[in-house]
Structure 1
Amino acid sequence: MTADRTAKRRTRADRAGALERSDGYADLRGYAGIGDGRTVALIARDGSVDWLPIPTLDAVPVFAALLDAEHGGRITLAPVEPFTATRAYVPGTNVLRTTFTTASGVVRITDALVTGVAGRLPWTELARRIDGIRGSVEMTWSVEPGRALRTAMPWVDRTVHGPVIRADGVMLAVTGFEHGAHEPGTHQLDGAFTTSPGSRHLVAVSGTAREPIHPPNPRNVDRGIDRTVANWRAWSTEFSYEGPWADAVQRSALALKLLIHSPTGAIAAAATTSLPETVTGEKNWDYRFAWVRDVAYTLQALIRFGLREESQAAVSWLLTTIRRHGPELEIFYTLDGRIPDDIVHTEAPGWRERGPVVCGNDARHQLQLGPYGDLFDVMRSYVDAGNVLDAETGRSLAAVADQACDDWQKPDSGIWELEEIRHYTTSKLGCWQALSSAVHLAELGEIPGDASRWEVERDRIADWVNENCWSEERQTYTMYPGSDELDASILLHAPSGFNRGERMSRTIDAITAELGDGPLLYRYTGMRHEEATFVACAFWRAAALACVGRRAEARQLMDDLVGLSNDVGMYAEMIDATSLEFAGNLPQGLSHLSLIYTALLIDELDD
């Protein structure tokens, strides 16, 4: 598929049903995200905020129409008459501008989760600025909190300082100017107004959780939008990348910034829960946790960008959390560094009735060996970038390396968190990667102890994989010993350095033939008929192609993949290869991370 054909298909996908809802649900491809360092709001193309947990990303959301169209809650703002919509982020920011065009005029909405002079605000503040551009446009708005995944009922409390909405411990104050507020209802607040050329209007929603609230001065909120734009632009100027696909890399970096939990430095895998990976809705997971794998990949990008504050915060969070609960690695942790609780099923129906809707993730009970490699790979990059490890961290990493020496021989659930416990190839290679990096760090004097054991076990793992996981008949590395099944995650171990020769090149071809669909890839054998393609896998293929010397193919594939984002440069976890519709949670950190990593890798190899 050429880049032009890809762009045309994406444009058709973005336009199809962009302003229509099926049973009250918007197409996942139509969402754009904004954030403030603690939470993320998802805004549909029709101007509806369908997802906004308060005060933090992992809270039970009181705005969750994304998962419950009838009772989930939303914040609406749109013209009364039919309209078309175009939108884009303010360059270098996560502030969204949407332009509505109607028969009677044009209006522009600027949406921001406002940040303060010294960073995030101690409350959540969604600001919606409305500017009249041409003609006159009748606008309506509403703030309709939901039932907190059907666990609570909101109500409007008429206080001496104006109406306040209470919902499951969350308090919401709605302010504005020239916004035509109506008499408060029992469960929501709303209003209507008409724009004119040059007119300005504002609707602001401020929220706290189990804390007092001070309804803000709307004029201060309006100024806060401009301050937020300036804050984002200041952050964006710190990037040090000007190579190929620079615009897509910067937009992906901004998407990742939405997932960084600024109070701790943790990095969420995605901003949502329970968006289905399959048409049947059987694979619904909560990704509002910090996976060691995703934190490690994000840190790779932050370190390469030279973003020292975020990388230091994330490294400190990761190491402190692992020391607290280690040396065995958990697959993921909560954003405040705890081991997650058991999964909770809710009564919400799910996106387009494809439940279940869950809080939590059952993968916490699994053994996965891949995080060993993820942890050590990022620590290697961290040290190679000029950082020095403290003594306690060095001792902790040495203990983890010793643990990897023992654990690599165990079967596990693999990178895909499968129920079948097997000796997955990429799990062994994760331990190989960990011990390779441990040896490197020991040679630099950054971790204590005798590295000879780590060297021996590293080489034993490599021999085991080459002897047991290579199929002479199929000319490819397989998913596990004795199997003909293929696994796209093996492509990660061209960049890791395990193999950049003929065997990896042949593996790329085998995976492309069986798991490929145009520029996209399914995760492993059998998934073609169960779920959509996995976005990150497609970028992994481009990275592997570059590593084995097939750089023209890698660059062409990157051109195609960069064209598959939605209209504002966002990726979900999965993409339907035929319709290009999104599936799974979004924005998905791993998808954006893989784009960044592959772009940087190809640029470095070209140099």
Structure 2
Amino acid sequence: MSGSLKLEDRRDGYVDLRSYAAIGNGRTVALVAHDGSVDWFPVPDLDSAPVFARLLDADHGGCIELHPDREALAAAGVDVTTELRAHRQYVPGTNVLSTTYRTPVGTVRVTDSVNMGSTGALPWTELARCVEGLDGQVPMRWRVVPGTMLNTASPWVQQTDHGLVIRVGEVSLAVRGEDIGAHDAGPQAISGRFTSGEGTEHLLAVVGTAAEPLRLPQTHAIRRNVDLSVDLWRRWTDLLEYDGPYGDEVRRSALVLKLLGHSPSGSIAAAATTSLPENREGTKNYDYRFAWIRDATYTLHALLRLDEQEDVHAAVSWLLRLAREQQPRLHVLNRLNGHVPEADTTELEVPGWRGIGPVVAGNDAADQLQLGVYGDIFDMATLYVDGGNVLDAETARMLSGLADAVCDLWIRPDAGMWELPEHRHYTSSKMGCWVALDRAITLAERGHLPGTEDRWRDERDRIRAWIEEHGWSEERGAYVWYRGSEELDASVLLHTISGFDTGPRMSATIDALREELGRGPLLFRYSGMDAEEGTFTACGFWCAAALALVGRRTEAREQMDAMLALANDVGLYTEMIDPADDSFLGNMPQALSHLALLVAALTLNGQ
């Protein structure tokens, strides 16, 4: 999962989404382009307004640049369009990025880290960029250009007796450097140049806080924190229990899920970004910097199977606490701090990636009814208990109450997994309700839940009968999208994993889905989406897991291998992929894509 990339000029100020690698610290995530520009970096939290957002606004979004100096190289006779290349990989077992730039005049390595401290996330934000000269003499250039926080603030540079400070709204930033040349400060940016030589070391760091005093660490402490961060990431990765094929991809995807975790609360974000388009015409741009119950439970499903302990407990506790507060009507998504967001979307006056808007904050799905989340909650609780854990009494009573609620709710139409405005009787939603009651019965039989098991059992059987009557089409030879429809929905594949059906009907459904929704190994979400958006990355991995679970393991391995080949050079995935040219679409890195990879790999490995 590494490769050599030519450093092409930015088209209209933007780069392809495949160009980005993600780094973070358990509170926020930065996206680093192949040309050394940090184009996305919210401070202090992932869902804060981004101080650096060239990803969505090339002119005014802001960035942190560090790369070989093109002007100086061109003056030395280097053809920068063909002779300047970058080779990237993560430091093994970490979310710390290593980029080696090769030029005809020398080679330099840049190590990028959003630092942690001795015990976890620092109380301030600290992005460190360490430069090592490997051979020759390479001229380097850097710039720290704060943006407008998506057109909500105007940055300015302030001179203090401790040096230059950048102010953007409530955020304060400082540049800390070591052997990076003289600072050239303008009213809204700080920049400089230096030359690396064999054996030289340099440091560019940006530290920040929001609505609190600004910490100015010494450069030796910043370097120490890079080493601590590498150690902390590796210690976490070493705890994962996995010994099977696709080991590198499994660890990378687990690290992505860890990266999207919000350590102060225990929540897990659906993605690190907002408003990256799902098609090139725009309109389908969404904010994914929230914690979806669905995505969080799927993530826990994967981490539990990897025998991860600490983050799982924190996230399980967070989810169950929310469920207790919100029962019986669970909110589909929540802010990372656990607060319920407003159920509306605000459009911002920002052009968007490559001018494809709108750029939005918020998500209209916040107050939707999605019945599948009940199955997700119960499946997660069952897996947690299966890991040798015990529910507290209040949670047990809450889950019993939720099971009773599902007995009444399952007959209602809902927005479905895909958060659609049309409320219908979606087959996968009914399957999710079946899972909820099936798991509730299991927990009760094992002494973990009080409650009316007989009613749960009766309603579970009614749900299966409903699905057999209304969710299956003899004409299509497949489970259909919703009652009365002959269209297809790839989310039913999840219910091989849930155990609802791993027999001939699901096998036939896989064939129908691949024929109608498939483009090579990729699948669209449901019928008609080929005209509206890219293929949904997770669906391709769900297909691999489903093939394995219905006994078609050779096809499952072929499907898995084909999907793994579609990652970018550092093993990351967006939400969607354009089947025409394999380009990335949608927010990134996407938790659902990576946890689907994990589940497929674990399923193929028999875990």
Q: Aligned residue for 1:340?
A: 341
Q: Secondary structure at the match of 1:434?
A: helix
Q: Which amino acid aligns with 2:45?
A: T
**Deviations 1:268-314 (Å, cap 9, x if unpaired)?**
00000000101111111111111001110111122122211101000
Task: Summarize deviations over 1:413-472 as a string: whole Å, max 9, x none.
Answer: 111111111111101111011111011111111111121111111110000011111111
1:581 to partner: Cα distance:
0.7
Please name the residue that 2:232 is paired with.
231
Please tell me whether residue 146 in structure 1 is matched to residue 147 in structure 2. yes
CA distance in 2 between counterparts of 1:21 and 1:407 reads 51
Does structure 1 conserve the Cα–Cα contact (< 8 Å) formed by 2:7 and 2:85? no
1:417 corresponds, among 416, 419, 428, to: 419
Structure 2 counterpart of 1:196:
197
Q: Which residue of 1 aligns with 2:245?
A: 244
Equivalent pair of 2:278/2:576 in contact (CA under 8 Å): yes
Query: How is 1:377-392 mapped onto 2 (pairs within 5 angstroms)?
Result: 377-392=379-394
- Tell me the amino acid that sits aligned with residue 340 of structure 1: P
| Pairing 1:33–2:22 present | yes
Structure 2 distance, partners of 1:365, 1:393, is: 23
Q: Tell me the alpha carbon deviations over residues 297-355 of structure 1, each in whole angstroms, 9 at most, x when there is no partner.
A: 11112212221110100011111112122221110111111111232221111111111
Q: Secondary structure at the match of 2:588?
A: coil
Paired position in structure 2 for 1:486: 488
Could you tell me whether the CA contact under 8 Å between 2:208 and 2:215 is conserved in 1? no
Higher mean alpha-carbon deviation, 333-342 vs 125-134, is at 333-342
**Secondary structure at 1:248's aligned position in 2?**
helix
State how far apart, in whole Å, the 2-side matches of 1:183 and 1:352 are. 29
Matches within 5 A, 1:175-324: 175-324=176-325
Deviation at residue 18 of structure 1 after TM alignment: 5.7
Partner of 1:3: none
Task: Give the Å deviation of 1:151.
Answer: 0.8
1:507 matched to 2:509? The reply is: yes
1:74 to 51, 59, 63: 63
Which residue number in structure 1 is paired with residue 523 of structure 2? 521
Q: How far did residue 528 of structure 1 move?
A: 1.0
Is the counterpart of residue 452 in structure 1 residue 454 in structure 2? Answer: yes
Q: Which residue number in structure 1 is paired with residue 171 of structure 2? A: 170
Q: Report the Cα distance in structure 1 between the residues aligned to 2:95 and 2:423, rounded to whole angstroms.
A: 41
Q: Does 1:570 align with 2:572?
A: yes
TM-score under structure 1 length normalisation: 0.96
The amino acid of 2:371's aligned partner reads L
Select which of 49, 53, 56 maps to 1:60.
49
* Partner SS, residue 119 of structure 1: coil
- Residues 19 and 45 in structure 1, CA contact (< 8 A), matched pair in contact too: no
Matched, 1:45 2:34: yes
1:584 to 576, 583, 586: 586
SS at match of 2:184: coil
Query: Which residue matches 1:594?
Result: 596
Q: Which moved more, 1:106-115 or 1:336-345?
A: 336-345
Give the aligned partner of residue 74 of structure 2.
none
Instruction: Give yes or no for contact 2:348–2:360 (8 Å, CA) kept in 1.
Output: yes
Question: Partners of 1:470 and 1:176 in 2: how far apart?
Answer: 64
Contact kept? 1:18, 1:30, Cα under 8 Å: no
Give yes or no for contact 1:18–1:27 (8 Å, CA) kept in 2.
no
Q: Deviations over 1:384-424 (max 9, x none)?
A: 11100000000111111111111111111111111111111
C-alpha contact 2:281 2:356 (8 A) present in aligned 1: yes
Taking the aligned partners of 2:377 and 2:282, their CA distance within structure 1 comes to 32
Task: Judge conservation of contact 2:171–2:209 (CA < 8 Å) in 1.
Answer: yes
Q: Which residue of 2 aligns with 1:360?
A: 362
Three-state SS of the structure 1 residue aligned to 2:130 is strand
The SS at the match of 2:465 is: helix
Cα distance in 1 for residues equivalent to 2:587 and 2:8: 21
Q: Deviations over 1:145-168 (max 9, x none)?
A: 000100110000101111100001
- Report if aligned partners of 2:124, 2:215 keep a CA contact under 8 Å in 1: no
SS at match of 1:25: coil
Alignment partner of 1:110 is 2:104: no
In structure 1, the gaps of 5 or more residues are 1-6
**Residue equivalent to 1:4:** none
Q: CA RMSD in A?
A: 1.3
Alpha-carbon distance in 1 for matches of 2:327, 2:159: 50
Deviation, 1:223, is 2.0
CA offsets, 1:220-249, max 9 Å, x none? 111221121111111111011011111100
Report what 2:75 is aligned to.
none
Give the Cα separation in 2 of the matches to 1:25 and 1:533: 23
Answer whether contact 1:177 1:203 (CA < 8 A) is retained.
Answer: yes
Q: Which residue of 2 aligns with 1:474?
A: 476
SS at 1:111 equivalent = strand
Q: Compute the displacement of 1:45 (Å).
A: 0.1
